[in-house]
Chains A and B, each alone.
Chain A
Amino acid sequence: MKNWFSKLLADTNEEGRNFFAIALIMFGAGILSLPLYVYLAIQDGSWQLYVILGTVIFFLIASGLSAVLSRQNRTTAALTWLLGGLFLIVPIIAAMVVGVGIVLAVTVVVVTILIVRQTLSGRRATKTVLRGVVTAILTVAIDVYVPWERASYPLLSTFIPYIAGAGILGISIYVLRGYRQYSLSTKLIGGFLLMTLIPLGVIFFFNNRSTRQILTDNANTALSASAAAAAQELDAFMNGSLTQVRSTAQSSILAEYLALSPSKRAGSETETVLYKELRAIASRDPIYITSVGLIDTQGTDIADTYGADIGLSKAKRIWFTTPVENGLPYVSPLEFSEATGLYSIYFSAPIRNVEGEIIGVLRMRYNANILQKIIVNSAENENITDSFTVLFDENHIRLAHSARPELITKSVIPFTLDKLAQLQEANRLPKGATVEEYSTNLLELEQRLSDVDNQPIFSAEFSATAGELDQAATVRMKSQPWLVAAAQPINTFLVPAQTQTRASAILVTLIAVVVAFIGSFVAQSLSAPIVRLTAVAEQIAAGDNNVQASIETQDEIGVLAGAFNTMTAKLREFIASLEQRVADRTRNLELAAEVGRSVSQVRALDVMLKDAAELIRSQFELYYVQVYLTDASQTNLLLLSGTGHVGEQLVGRGHRLPLNLSSINGRAATEKKAVVIADTATNATFRPNPLLPNTRSEMAVPLIVGEKVVGVLDLQSEKANALSRELLPAFEALAGQLAIAIQNANLLAETEQARAEVEAQARRLVRANWADYLDAIHKPEETGFVFQQNKVRPLTQEEETQSVEKEKGNSWASPIEVTGEALGNLVVELDEQTFVARGNELVNTVAQQVAQHIEALRLLESAERYRAEAEEASRRLTREGWKTYVENAEESLSYFYDLKEVKPHHGNGQAESAVALPLKVRDEVLGKLAIQGIDADDSRALELVNAVAERLSTHIESLRQQDQTQIALTQSEKLFEASRRLTQAADLQQLVDTTVTAMKIPAINRAILVAFNYDDSGSIANLDVIANWWNGTGHQATSVGTHYPLEMIRAMPLFVSSTPVFFNDAFNDERVDATTMQLVHRLNLRAVAVLPLHTSAGQIGALIVEAEVPHNFTTEETRLFIALAPQIATIVDNQRQFERAQKQAERETMLNVISQKIQSATSVEAVLQIAARELGHALGAPMTVAQLSMKDKS
Chain B
Amino acid sequence: MKTYRFLSVLFLIIFLISACGAPAVEHPPLKLGWSLWPGWYPLVIAQEKGFFEKHGVEVELSFYPLYGQTLAELDSGKVDAGALVVGDALPLATDGKTKIVLITDNSSGGDSILVPADISSPAELRGKRIGVGLGTFGEVLVREMLKRNNILIGDVTLVDVPPEKLPDALGKTVDAGHTYEPFTTQAIQGGYHAIFSSAETPGLIPDVFVFRSSVAAERPEDVRAFIAAFFEAQEWWLANPDEGAALIAQATGLTPADISTDGLKLFNRNDNVNAFKPGEDTTSLFFTTQLYTDFQILTGRLNSAPDLNQMLDASFLPQ
Distance between Cα atoms of A369 and B79 in the complex (Å):
11
The answer to whether B7 touches A372, judged by C-beta atoms less than 8 angstroms apart, is no
Residue B232 lies at the interface, judged by CB distance under 8 Å to chain A? no
The answer to whether A130 touches B75, judged by C-beta atoms less than 8 angstroms apart, is no
The answer to whether A373 touches B75, judged by C-beta atoms less than 8 angstroms apart, is yes
Knowing A287-B71, A307-B159 are in contact, say whether A372-B169 is a contact too (CB < 8 A).
Answer: no
The answer to whether A367 touches B13, judged by C-beta atoms less than 8 angstroms apart, is no
Q: Which of B116-151 contact A (CB under 8 A)?
A: 127, 129, 131, 134-135
Residue A286 lies at the interface, judged by CB distance under 8 Å to chain B? yes
Distance between Cα atoms of A1159 and B172 in the complex (Å):
191
Distance between Cα atoms of A702 and B168 in the complex (Å):
160
The answer to whether B129 touches A267, judged by C-beta atoms less than 8 angstroms apart, is yes
Residue B205 lies at the interface, judged by CB distance under 8 Å to chain A? no
Residues of B close to A148: CB separation below 8 A: 20, 23
**Chain A minimum-CB-distance residue to B169:** A307
The answer to whether B134 touches A145, judged by C-beta atoms less than 8 angstroms apart, is no
Contact partner of B76 among A127, A279, A310, A370, CB < 8 A? A370
Residue B43 lies at the interface, judged by CB distance under 8 Å to chain A? no
Residue B68 lies at the interface, judged by CB distance under 8 Å to chain A? yes
Residues of A close to B91: CB separation below 8 A: 286-287
CB distance from A137 to the nearest CB of B (A): 9
The answer to whether B165 touches A308, judged by C-beta atoms less than 8 angstroms apart, is yes
CB distance from A271 to the nearest CB of B (A): 8
Distance between Cα atoms of A138 and B17 in the complex (Å):
11
CB distance from B213 to the nearest CB of A (A): 13
Residue B77 lies at the interface, judged by CB distance under 8 Å to chain A? yes
Residues of B close to A287: CB separation below 8 A: 71-72, 75, 91-92
Distance between Cα atoms of A13 and B127 in the complex (Å):
112
**Chain B minimum-CB-distance residue to A84:** B6
The answer to whether B161 touches A307, judged by C-beta atoms less than 8 angstroms apart, is yes
Residues of B close to A372: CB separation below 8 A: 76-78
Residue A1155 lies at the interface, judged by CB distance under 8 Å to chain B? no
The answer to whether B69 touches A307, judged by C-beta atoms less than 8 angstroms apart, is no
Q: What string of 1s and 0s marks CB contacts (under 8 Å) between A145-184 and chain B?
A: 1111000000000000000000000000000000000000
The answer to whether A369 touches B76, judged by C-beta atoms less than 8 angstroms apart, is yes
Distance between Cα atoms of A308 and B172 in the complex (Å):
10
Q: What string of 1s and 0s marks CB contacts (under 8 Å) between B1-44 and chain A?
A: 01100110010011001101111000000000000000000000
The answer to whether B77 touches A127, judged by C-beta atoms less than 8 angstroms apart, is no
Distance between Cα atoms of A224 and B295 in the complex (Å):
43
Residue A305 lies at the interface, judged by CB distance under 8 Å to chain B? yes
Q: Chain B contact residues: over half helix, strand or loop, or mixed?
A: mixed
Distance between Cα atoms of A350 and B23 in the complex (Å):
58
Residue A376 lies at the interface, judged by CB distance under 8 Å to chain B? yes
Residues of A close to B21: CB separation below 8 A: 145, 147
Residues of B close to A271: CB separation below 8 A: 157
The answer to whether A341 touches B65, judged by C-beta atoms less than 8 angstroms apart, is yes
Knowing A147-B21, A307-B165 are in contact, say whether A341-B66 is a contact too (CB < 8 A).
Answer: yes
Q: Which of B267-311 contact A (CB under 8 A)?
A: 299-301
Knowing A145-B18, A308-B169 are in contact, say whether A127-B78 is a contact too (CB < 8 A).
Answer: no
**Chain A minimum-CB-distance residue to B71:** A287
Distance between Cα atoms of A370 and B20 in the complex (Å):
41
The answer to whether A147 touches B23, judged by C-beta atoms less than 8 angstroms apart, is yes
**Chain A minimum-CB-distance residue to B128:** A267
The answer to whether A405 touches B162, judged by C-beta atoms less than 8 angstroms apart, is no
Residues of A close to B7: CB separation below 8 A: 134
Contact partner of A307 among B92, B135, B160, CB < 8 A? B160
Knowing A127-B3, A141-B14 are in contact, say whether A311-B78 is a contact too (CB < 8 A).
Answer: no
Residues of A close to B20: CB separation below 8 A: 147-148
Knowing A279-B160, A307-B173 are in contact, say whether A373-B77 is a contact too (CB < 8 A).
Answer: yes
The answer to whether B66 touches A340, judged by C-beta atoms less than 8 angstroms apart, is yes
**Chain A minimum-CB-distance residue to B172:** A311
Residue A288 lies at the interface, judged by CB distance under 8 Å to chain B? yes
Residue A995 lies at the interface, judged by CB distance under 8 Å to chain B? no
**Chain A minimum-CB-distance residue to B159:** A307
The answer to whether A376 touches B76, judged by C-beta atoms less than 8 angstroms apart, is yes
Residues of A close to B187: CB separation below 8 A: none
Distance between Cα atoms of A696 and B281 in the complex (Å):
151
Residue B174 lies at the interface, judged by CB distance under 8 Å to chain A? yes
Residues of B close to A135: CB separation below 8 A: 10
CB distance from B84 to the nearest CB of A (A): 11
Residue B53 lies at the interface, judged by CB distance under 8 Å to chain A? no
**Chain B minimum-CB-distance residue to A372:** B76
The answer to whether B78 touches A405, judged by C-beta atoms less than 8 angstroms apart, is yes
Size of interface on B: residues with Cβ below 8 Å to A: 46
The answer to whether A267 touches B76, judged by C-beta atoms less than 8 angstroms apart, is no
The answer to whether A283 touches B300, judged by C-beta atoms less than 8 angstroms apart, is yes
CB distance from A104 to the nearest CB of B (A): 15
Most buried by A among B2, B6, B23, B131: B6
Residues of B close to A131: CB separation below 8 A: 3, 6
Knowing A286-B135, A307-B165 are in contact, say whether A146-B17 is a contact too (CB < 8 A).
Answer: yes
Residue A185 lies at the interface, judged by CB distance under 8 Å to chain B? no
Q: Which of A258-307 contact B (CB under 8 A)?
A: 266-267, 271-272, 275, 279-280, 282-283, 286-288, 290, 304-307
Residue B48 lies at the interface, judged by CB distance under 8 Å to chain A? no
Distance between Cα atoms of A402 and B78 in the complex (Å):
9
Residue A142 lies at the interface, judged by CB distance under 8 Å to chain B? yes
CB distance from B174 to the nearest CB of A (A): 7
The answer to whether A308 touches B161, judged by C-beta atoms less than 8 angstroms apart, is yes
Distance between Cα atoms of A770 and B2 in the complex (Å):
112
Residues of A close to B131: CB separation below 8 A: 307
Residues of B close to A267: CB separation below 8 A: 127, 129, 157
Q: What string of 1s and 0s marks CB contacts (under 8 Å) between B58-82 and chain A?
A: 0000001110110111011110000
CB distance from B103 to the nearest CB of A (A): 22
Distance between Cα atoms of A271 and B299 in the complex (Å):
18
Residue A342 lies at the interface, judged by CB distance under 8 Å to chain B? yes
Residues of A close to B14: CB separation below 8 A: 138, 141
**Chain A minimum-CB-distance residue to B135:** A286
Q: What string of 1s and 0s marks CB contacts (under 8 Å) between B91-106 and chain A?
A: 1100000000000000
Residues of B close to A408: CB separation below 8 A: 78
The answer to whether A142 touches B17, judged by C-beta atoms less than 8 angstroms apart, is yes
Knowing A134-B7, A288-B72 are in contact, say whether A307-B157 is a contact too (CB < 8 A).
Answer: no
The answer to whether B69 touches A272, judged by C-beta atoms less than 8 angstroms apart, is no
Most buried by B among A145, A308, A340: A308
CB distance from B195 to the nearest CB of A (A): 20
**Chain B minimum-CB-distance residue to A126:** B3
Residues of A close to B127: CB separation below 8 A: 267
Q: Which of A291-348 contact B (CB under 8 A)?
A: 304-308, 310-311, 340-342
Knowing A307-B161, A307-B174, A311-B172 are in contact, say whether A279-B3 is a contact too (CB < 8 A).
Answer: no
Distance between Cα atoms of A272 and B18 in the complex (Å):
71
The answer to whether B173 touches A134, judged by C-beta atoms less than 8 angstroms apart, is no
**Chain A minimum-CB-distance residue to B92:** A287
Residues of B close to A341: CB separation below 8 A: 64-66
Knowing A372-B76, A376-B77 are in contact, say whether A138-B13 is a contact too (CB < 8 A).
Answer: yes
Residues of B close to A306: CB separation below 8 A: 160, 162
Residues of B close to A266: CB separation below 8 A: 129
Distance between Cα atoms of A307 and B71 in the complex (Å):
19
Residues of A close to B129: CB separation below 8 A: 266-267
CB distance from B24 to the nearest CB of A (A): 9
Q: Pull 19 A–B residue pairs with CB atoms less than 8 Å apart, ordered by A.
A: A127-B3, A138-B10, A145-B18, A147-B17, A267-B157, A279-B160, A283-B301, A287-B91, A287-B92, A307-B131, A307-B169, A341-B65, A341-B66, A369-B72, A369-B73, A369-B76, A376-B77, A405-B78, A408-B78
Q: A287-B71, A305-B134 are in contact. List 14 more A-B contacts (CB 8 A).
A: A148-B23, A267-B129, A283-B300, A288-B72, A306-B160, A307-B160, A307-B162, A307-B174, A308-B168, A341-B66, A342-B69, A372-B77, A402-B77, A405-B76
Please give the residue numbers on chain B whose beta carbons come within 8 Å of chain A beta carbons, in ascending order. Answer: 2-3, 6-7, 10, 13-14, 17-18, 20-23, 64-66, 68-69, 71-73, 75-78, 91-92, 127, 129, 131, 134-135, 157, 159-162, 165, 168-169, 172-174, 299-301
In the complex, the 3 A-B pairs of residues with the closest C-beta atoms, listed nearest first: A307-B161, A308-B165, A372-B76
